[in-house]
Structure 1
């Protein structure tokens, strides 16, 4: 129709006739690109492109058409942006989230939408993008950090996720207003995930594309990756909003074609191809009609400019970028009254309609609830016929919950306890300090250097003061207090560790130096957000790493000095054991406590408790280890009959007594050993055998009361939860006599006469709820029923705890069976696998024997096949030389890639596999296990022979060794 009207006009494109060449893409992007290439390949020469009708086809074609300098007109997704912004501003929604399909068309429209939202001062909390065709069965990810995207870098920073991930990402950001730009097939999975995450109802508003059908969820039955029923998708999509366009201009005025929009509509439906059903009526026919007129007017206005270049439209070629630029410039100048709207392109190539419709999904129908008038910046809710916008709650939801900030401090009780403990420890340190000063001339104190003892106690007092100062930070805000704890801790640790190691170094130098020398020592609508006061500085991380490295070096150096001084015979001065215990104590606790301190949330004083507890424990232990033995030694001088015993008593044992003791405990310990075996994790089935059989974690007895706590701790007893204890409640009060049994039966009869019992807890129920599986009465509250099936209303069905447990157990058994089958199939495949034969130049892996390699060394070494014998034995070589023994195919593993060429092998040197391992190792190349025997190493006295390993070069240099 448009081509006939244009060709009939003499003032438009004189001496030219517009013709339309149709290509059916069948809604396929691949076929659309093929049709485009056919248009370009076959004559006649094409000038402009119209379409496509589907966004996914348009996206694929648009990526190719620019390379051929063709102007393409199609329906733009960017035309929805302005009405959406007006809707957000009307309801004062200033924080939104966007879920967008990743494609060329959608990326451009999304960038424009972000630009419009930015100018309207609407904050985009998070933008989630997904690639069409992604696997939707992957696990849900956790997207926690708020990602505010830059508008100019939308494509670079857009988070690409699967649908279940970005739904969870939007939920984590707690955004209530969600704008969706996607296709109808994407909407099924999106609203399915929204239903699973509870992102619908009174707290959420979805703004979706207007082309979604009113009952699009009916297609979910035929989509395999959608794990929701159509009813669930309909619930999630209910009350969603969308923007739709008027297909016919509401203004009753004559357009450029000489027709009014109403007369066009009548003419279109009476068109022969529509009447004889060659084509079915399309509501977007007015848009297509105006698009043809826009192209014709652009070509018509281009004639004058092309004529000045002594050229015509017939001279256009696909490589002619100059003429294509003229066409595009004239397209931006097009301005006329069309059938669908006032046609004028903006800088993005979009046509903004004057009037759009606000449509809401209400049940199975889409209701026209308001008119958005862009020219007047007005939303008119007076519709004909009258339709009222509805909300799931009492009104439109808020865009985000209100946040109230509250300052968190260390609990006062914890601070008082730590302060009291620190003060007690300071008093103990002061007492030892006074004792050390008063008895400094006594032999025990004098030989251990009383001055260094005083420095150790002063350093401990500094560490105790840092505990008090650390808690004061949360009470008093002061920069001085903020800097005080790290300095007190650093100075205290340096004094204590330095003094301890100086004492050992002093004793070491005295007993290892022949000439006496003197050593000088030197010194829901509202969310309450908790806030914490933390001390921080610009280079805090560098400072912390430097201090930790320095303290670590001091500990290592002190350990070395203590090790060197371990053989000093004067026990009063030899404190190597005490220093070793202190180093072990501090190092082990620091390795455990420091990561815990950084990982604990600082909400209830957890890091403060762990760090201060570490300081108190290590410091107090150090004081006790160094000064209590001296105090006890002083006491022994007062009571000479008192003896100090080190170690534990020993009793003689024989083989017979050991066997008799084992027989006594066999009956009680064998069940525990069996229980440990059944409750331990099994890698084949992915869980313990007990859990695979019974569907829950193992427990000792019904209520865990038959064994002492020490025994339960040793065997790894797992305390049952309240839900597990429900199943044991019917067995807790077992009658001991027939009279008691009869009395209980009579009491049960009385209960049954009034109300039926709950099948889970065996308590009277109100007959309001039944289990949907076993049809017995059940309470509709946990733990009697499943937590996911809590419903209200008389007669509703729930799932009782027993049926849920039975179903869970059945699933675990099936999973265990499948894993065992997979393990058996893997073993079968490996057993029938044929070894591949290598050729010269292939890279292989040689396994290294355990005695010949270090624990930190790789288990295999790379080699190259140098030659192959007639018996299929391989001569291998490495960078270091040829290996002096042949290998067969069973000892090698072929590599897919070639990391070592034959030319890289040193053919002039022959070495053993042990020497190869040593050369490949960064340390010694052999295991640290050695025997040091002087015999032939054929008895159990040899450590290597007893451990069933071969002797290596570190064991000895005896030629008589036979264990090689």
Structure 2
């Protein structure tokens, strides 16, 4: 163009071309300096729409940005709300991609990935796969398109689950072309598979009108003449799709010059287009105004220009079927909003999967609750345990006057049963989640579970171990008759344990309260749907330390209980000594804890987690209660059951004392003294006051008797420690 402009032998009137945007942009920036209009038949860069840089430029082919409206119409039609973009980093593709991203935000379409490349696109295509892209908008030259689709084949980014929408002006069967400058390592068969079913958006190259246009030819006539001119098979020619635009470009210039000549001839004095010179602004303005008003029916459709010099006209959607691209839709911007895109009835879209693919993997959130059936079963077991504990409690109260029951500290047994009931309730609280409670209630159920289990454990095992501690004190004190531990003292010990639990939980609620934590996991339901499982749990920031403190306290309690059970193992009065059953209870709790806690930590299934923990609590509690109370049920109707101190005393008189063990000898002596005191109280009630005031009778026999007998207070101590009974 430089040579022609400075060729003074002829004066140029207009510039026709160029075909590529990279050539058109520099020439159009210069041609207006010579007052020349420039018309391109196929340049598509959005940059050319900037009137301040290209004031006298027009083009027959619409810019790439225009096709974004067609893409948006497709996305809305197929309900695709999540898309990804991939473009080559040159102005021709960067600008329309940027325009698409802006429009997507305005139209509520989510961009899940936006990748760009300048050379090898392999990494960017792989990233699209990693981001879960299903609907991909591509803007790149066809030499890069072959590399893109080769990598898409390798990454599995093709098939019935994926849709590619690319530019529509590639050559025929472009994916089968081998370009040494831009090689790829996929076979023709692999490329055929990778590109199958892609969509393109493009300007409508041929008019849909059945009547002849301004040239006097219909679209069919033009195409026949074109085929004949190129010798058949025009698809094999590069750029054959732009032929109608080139034809209409020539007609546009011809019509403009014809009208300009007529206007110039009507001027006074008359002028002609032959009078045009590079500094003739008047004729240049006439050319420009006529070009802006261009309106005729060409072989490529209606020819009109916008204020930016861009072509107005119809656009099309094509789809790759077999070895060719088939028109499946037409976009008419002149129609009512929402109805611009019309789908072809002759070439309906047939999807590989029978329906349009989804725009992304659907994530369906579902809350993971405990199975209602499991909750019912565990609640039934817990209620059965509570009923059993209440039955034991009723038995303990009814038969509390029985010698065997009285000697086993019935009041402490009541605390054991109360702790067992709290433990059973702790089974029910976490299972309430099965009825889909709200978050606030769920947190309160967590608190109730923790408090009831911890306090129930301290109450049950604290009571069990403290009454064993009393037996231990009795049989390890050198002067047995001077050992006195009353029930209220044992209550105090149990209360201390409960208060320790309350202090720990109280500080936790103040400084580190528990809160709801929703844990998520993903489960593939099928190729299109992923279930996002929401599992609610209760936690706190320092949950490990709080749980550790409770484990230490309860662990020390179990160790202490095991020590007492070992120390009192040789006491042969079952009514007093539960050491064997305590040892078994401690063993069960420890074993179940060592098995249950690790298993519950590794299990992700909420039902299995709940069922295992609930079963461990149920069996540990039930075994403990049964081992403490079932032996008492068996001897409830015996006056002096085997193993009480009185049956032991009777048997001991028939045996040689020389073979009697030291602990048994203490029991026998204690039993003899209690029996003696009970007889004296029945016969000499009138002397109680005298004994309390230590009034000593005058007789020597009485003095000896008084000095050897216990005071009333010592009598009461002995009765409480050895199992008190009613006065006879």
Q: Which has the higher helix share?
A: 2
User: Quick one: higher RCO (CA 8 Å, sep 6+), 1 or 2?
Assistant: 2
Q: Which has the larger radius of gyration?
A: 2
